[in-house]
Amino acid sequence: MYGKFQKILQDELANIENLGLYKRERIIGSPQKAEISVGEGDGLLNFCANNYLGLSDSERLVEAARKAMDSRGFGMSSVRFICGTQDLHKQLEASVSEYFRTDDAILYGSCFDANGGLFEPLLTEDDAIISDALNHASIIDGVRLCKAKRYRYANADMAELEKCLREASAQRLRIIATDGVFSMDGNVAPMDEICRLAEKYDALVMVDESHSAGVVGPTGRGVAELYDLYGRIDIFTGTLGKSFGGAMGGFTTGHREIIDMLRQRSRPYLFSNSLAPALAGAGIEMFKILNESDALHTRLMENVKYFCREMMAAGFDIKPTQSAICAVMLYDAALSQEFARRMQAEGIYVTGFYFPVVPKEQARIRVQLSAGHERAHLDKAIGAFVKVGRELNVIKAVDGERQ
């Protein structure tokens, strides 16, 4: 029975291969950090990880995970409401809500699960969800699982958002859903204007902080800190898999009644195993690290400023960024793959992104900076970008330009 379907798949995969768009996994044989080992080759400098604060190989987190396993075991073998809740889970939820200054928090296996399980338990066909066009796939899927009426506005377009809010005025409830930082462009949602419009049209506000928490704001605590919006954003979702240690786990945090309802009805929470004790223990320790000092965030922002300034000076087309994401625009999908391949030969590990991950003819190299990068790492990466950029006619050599 599989034969006909197999031929369809083989033809489509061959087409992807012929277009130069086939995704191949490169195997890392070291901890995730600024310098990694890939395959059997020499070490590469990694510029495509979500390891914004450089905590993925933190000895403190490794030790905290080890202690949690020693005292609480390896796994939970249960969902939370049966016999899957340990004291570590409650402590981590308290740490999340303290960090975001909310009433309570609920843990998930990932932020994809948090977003996927958010809307359906809270909203009905009498309600409306108004979503930014560039929201993460997990928000889009969560919206699809909900019966609420759907509206969409162009990325960060406040005039179009207001139009959607006016059109949704007949619905019982309205919720605006947005990423805090948009993962492919690196821009921050205009949360001050979003909250102003939400208050004008009596709407709730939800923001996914996956790429913004730990990064934006004076001390990196996300969009509420950046725009001073504590108490005006109703729901935050986020991940432990990026700035917050880079492992696994997601969360939703906000008003107490919202979190209580999610505990009762959110399907990814009710029907998935609890977060492993090691992840919970390391998460608790991670928030202790962030509460002790802003040094990691400060170093990250210094790295971002330096890298973007030097890349623009070299002639690259860089999207404006307020985050740790620097989109180096190439526009052509096949070019982005060839560029990434040549960068690896230069010792720099980056990835080319193209449709459907980004819009057609918007292919790019997405560079992600980390507090774990040293200035020498940045200079080597910039030098490699310039060399490959000239080879592929992306930038031109100019007298006095970086050699």
**pLDDT reported for residue 399:** 47
Q: Where are the beta strands (DSSP E) in 112-263?
A: 128-132, 149-153, 174-179, 204-208, 235-239, 250-254
pLDDT given at position 40: 65
pLDDT for res 397: 65
Residue with tokens 């195993």: 273
Strand order in the sheet with 363-368: 325-331, 363-368, 352-353
Active site (annotated) includes residue 242: yes
176 vs 16 pLDDT, higher one: 176
Show the beta-strand stretches assigned E in 224-309. 235-239, 250-254
> Closest Cα partner for 356 from 19, 34, 28?
19
Rounded CA-CA distance 115/110 in Å is 9
| Alpha helices (H) in 293-392, listed in sequence order | 295-313, 333-345, 375-391
Query: What φ, ψ does residue 293 adopt, rounded to 5°?
Result: -160, 150
Q: What is the pLDDT of residue 403?
A: 41
Set 242, 297, 373, 377: catalytic member: 242
* Residues facing residue 128 across a β-bridge: 149, 174
Residue pair 212/242 in contact (Cβ under 8 Å)? The answer is no
Confidence of residue 182 (pLDDT cuts 50, 70, 90): very high
pLDDT of residue 335: 94
How far lies 288's CA from each of 92, 96, 245, 281, 319, in Å? 11, 11, 12, 11, 34
- Per the structure block, which two tokens stand in for 360? 């057609």
Share of the chain above pLDDT 90, in %: 88
State yes or no: is 255 an active-site residue. no
For the cut 50, the answer to whether the pLDDT of residue 44 exceeds it is yes
Residue whose pair of structure tokens reads 């419009």 in the numeric block: 197
pLDDT at residue number 196 = 98
List of residues 6+ apart from 397 with CB closer than 8 A: 390
Q: What is the mean pLDDT of the chain?
A: 94
Strand partners, 252: 106, 237
Check whether 47 has a pLDDT greater than 50.
Answer: yes
**Marked catalytic residue, from 33, 136, 211, 319:** 211
Dmax over Cα atoms in the chain, in whole Å? Answer: 69
State the pTM of this model. Answer: 0.92
| pLDDT given for residue 26 in this prediction | 81
User: Is residue 297 among the annotated active site residues?
Assistant: no
Of 110, 183, 266, 370, which residue is the catalytic one?
183
How do residues 289-346 score in pLDDT, each as one tens digit? Answer: 999 999 999 999 999 999 999 999 999 999 989 899 999 999 999 899 999 999 999 9
- The per-residue pLDDT for range 355-401, each reduced to its tens digit, is 888 888 999 999 999 999 999 999 999 999 999 999 999 988 654 44
Q: For 79-83, 139-143, 182-186, which range has the lowest pLDDT when averaged over its residues?
A: 182-186
**Highest mean predicted confidence (pLDDT) among 6-20, 26-40, 47-61:** 47-61
User: Regarding beta strands 43-46 and 348-349, do their DSSP bridges make them parallel or antiparallel, or are they unpaired?
Assistant: parallel
